[in-house]
Amino acid sequence: MDTQLLFYATIILTALMGIVLGWVAISYRKLIEKYDKIRTSAQEAEKALEQQRARVLEEAKVQAKQIVTEAQTRSGQLISEAASFGNQTKELLGSELNKLQAVELGYYQKALEETKLQAQASLGGISKDVRQEVVRQIDAVRIGLTGEIQKAQLETRQMLSASYKKMEDEIEAYKAERLKRVDETIFEILKDVSAKAIGKTLSLEDHEDVVVKALEDAKKEHVL
Amino acid sequence: MPKKNMYSELNRLARTEEERESLKEELQVLSASLYEREGAFEQALAYKVRPTTGETVKKLLVEGKVSDRAKFFEEAAKALESLKILELTIAFDPKGQSIERIWQWVRRNVGEGITLKFSVDRSIGAGAIVVYKGKFRNYSLKKLLEDYFAANRQNLIDLLA
């Protein structure tokens, strides 16, 4: 019983699944068709847009060309006008400057002439005095210098004499010192040589005698 | 108890500084032998010290009737230490006879208890430089000549000129 029920239930479920699968398949097919349609329309729209863009670009190019041509024409006109104006201005300025220069030059030449005349008049008056003053000053300097030179010569001579005298004195002192040292050295040598020579000539007994004599003297002098 | 003046005999064996040092060492040897085996002291007297030292010590022990030998050596060492020093710088190397002569003169004329300390300096020529109890005096030939040259300098210069 249960087996039969299970069998029928299975068949019913299988049938239901078949119905569902069929519905799904149909829906899927419809969806794909819809997608194809949309894709086609999108491609067409894109193509149309591309064509429109090309057309606009072409129109823009033509317009730009026209604008450039017009601009070139206009600028050529402007340049020619400007050149014409520059030349006119230059000529005008040149003539004005020449005029001004002539006037200024006249003024300067006049002023220069006047200054020259004034200077000649002034210098002519003082040149004599200046010459006399300069000569006087030079004479004074010459006299002063002669005196200074004589004075310097005298001082130098005196200084040299003093130095020479001092040097002579120092040499004399040095000689005396050296002689003194030589004397001392001679005496030192004499003393040592004598002492050693005498010492060597003495016999042992003589030496003993001298030592005993020394001890006697020490006793007399209360050293012992 | 040893008598104090008996140690003056030892001074004869310590005429110079060198002799005194030798004698001190000998007395130390003898003193040490007292603490060794029996007969060590007599053996040391006979063989370990100079004959003169042995004889002098033996004589002093007998004549002084010394019973405490250790005390004797202790006192002897002190007596040697207390000797006064007479320093003599001389121009020759003094040997036995010369030392004896000088030492005898000192003993007779200055007194007992003195030991001589000799130094040799041949540059002094002859005579002696004496130092005693802090006093110094130069009696050398060199000093004599120095004084002579100092006193007669000008005469000598004139003579040399």
From B81, B108, B130, give the residue that closes a domain: B81
Interface test with A, best of B108, B109, B154 (most A CBs within 10 A): B109
Q: Is B124 inside any structural domain?
A: yes
- Pick among B145, B155, B160 to test the A interface (most A CBs inside 10 A): B145
CB spacing of B137 vs A202 below 8 angstroms: no
B33 near B44, Cβ under 8 Å?
A: yes
Residue of A63 and B140 predicted with greater confidence: B140
B42 part of a folded domain: yes
DSSP-derived 3-state class of residue B136: strand
**Residue of A184, A201, A202, A211 to mutate, interface with B, max B Cβ within 10 Å:** A211
**CA pair distance B116, B15, nearest whole angstrom:** 6
Shortest CA distance to B2 belongs to which of B65, B55, B79?
B65
Same-domain pairing of B121 and B74: no
Is B159 inside a domain boundary? no
Residue B160 lies in a domain: no
pLDDT tens per residue, chain A (224 residues)? 678 888 898 999 899 999 989 988 998 888 889 888 888 888 898 898 888 888 888 888 888 888 888 878 887 887 777 667 667 767 877 787 778 778 777 876 787 788 778 766 666 655 677 778 888 888 888 888 888 888 888 898 899 889 989 999 999 999 888 888 877 777 778 777 777 777 778 888 889 999 999 999 999 998 88
- Residue B126 and residue B105 share a domain: yes
Token pair for residue A18? 């078949």
pLDDT tens readout for residues B41-88: 888 888 889 999 999 898 888 888 888 888 889 888 888 898 999 999
| Mutation site for A-interface testing, chosen from B121, B130, B136 by largest number of A Cβ within 10 Å | B130
- Interface check for A64 against chain B (CB to CB < 8 A): the answer is no
Q: Has the ipTM of the complex gone over 0.85?
A: no
- Asked if residue B90 and residue B76 are part of one domain, the reply reads no
Q: In this predicted structure, what is the pLDDT of residue B1?
A: 46
Between these two residues, A67 and B128, which has the higher pLDDT value?
A: B128
| Pick from B135, B142, B160: CB nearest A191 | B142
In a domain, B156, yes or no: no
The residue count of chain A comes to 224
Asked whether residue B65 falls in the same domain as residue B112, the answer is no
| Structure confidence at residue B148 as a pLDDT band (50, 70, 90) | confident
For the stretch B22-45, pLDDT in tens is 999 999 999 999 888 888 888 888
Q: How far away is chain A from the Cα of B13, in angstroms, using its nearest Cα?
A: 21
| Alpha-carbon span A206 to A175, nearest angstrom | 44
Same domain, B147 and B100: yes
Query: Do A191 and B135 make contact, defined as CB atoms within 8 angstroms?
Result: no
Same domain, yes or no: B88 and B127: yes
Domain range holding B125? 84-151
Residues B77 and B11 in one domain: yes
d(CA B21, CA B80): 9
For the segment B97-119, the average pLDDT, to the nearest whole number, is 92
Which of the pair, B119 or A68, is modelled with greater confidence?
A: B119
Residue B32 located in a structural domain: yes
Contacts of B146 in chain A (CB under 8 A): 191
The answer to whether residues B8 and B67 belong to one domain is yes
| B51 and B8 in a common domain | yes
Domain boundary among B81, B105, B120: B81
In this structure, are B76 and B88 located in the same domain?
Answer: no
**Structure confidence at residue B105 (pLDDT):** 94
Answer yes or no: do A224 and B132 touch at CB < 8 A. Answer: yes
Do the beta carbons of residue A180 and residue B157 sit within 8 Å? no
B158 in any annotated domain: no
Q: Which of B92, B128, B130 sits opposite A204 (nearest CB)?
A: B92
Identify all chain A residues contacting B152, using CB atoms and an 8 Å cutoff.
Answer: none
Residues B88 and B74 placed together within one structural domain of the fold: no
Residues B75 and B43 in one domain: yes
Q: Is position B73 within any domain?
A: yes
Separation in Å, CA of B50 to nearest CA in chain A: 27
Cβ within 8 Å, pair A215-B156: no
Separate counts of helices (H) and strands (E) for chain B: 8, 4
Q: What's the 3-state SS for B53-98?
A: HHHHHHHHHHHCCCCCHHHHHHHHHHHHHCCEEEEEEECCCCCHHH
The answer, for A196 touching chain B at a CB cutoff of 8 Å, is: yes
| pLDDT value at residue B129 | 95
Enter the tokens of residue B21. Answer: 């040092």
Whether A207 and B109 lie within 8 Å, measured CB to CB: no
- Give the pLDDT confidence score for residue A220 in this predicted structure: 92
Domain count, chain B: 2
Q: A215 and B106 in contact by Cβ < 8 A?
A: yes
Final residue belonging to a domain, choices B81, B107, B134: B81
Locate A104 and state its tokens.
């200024």
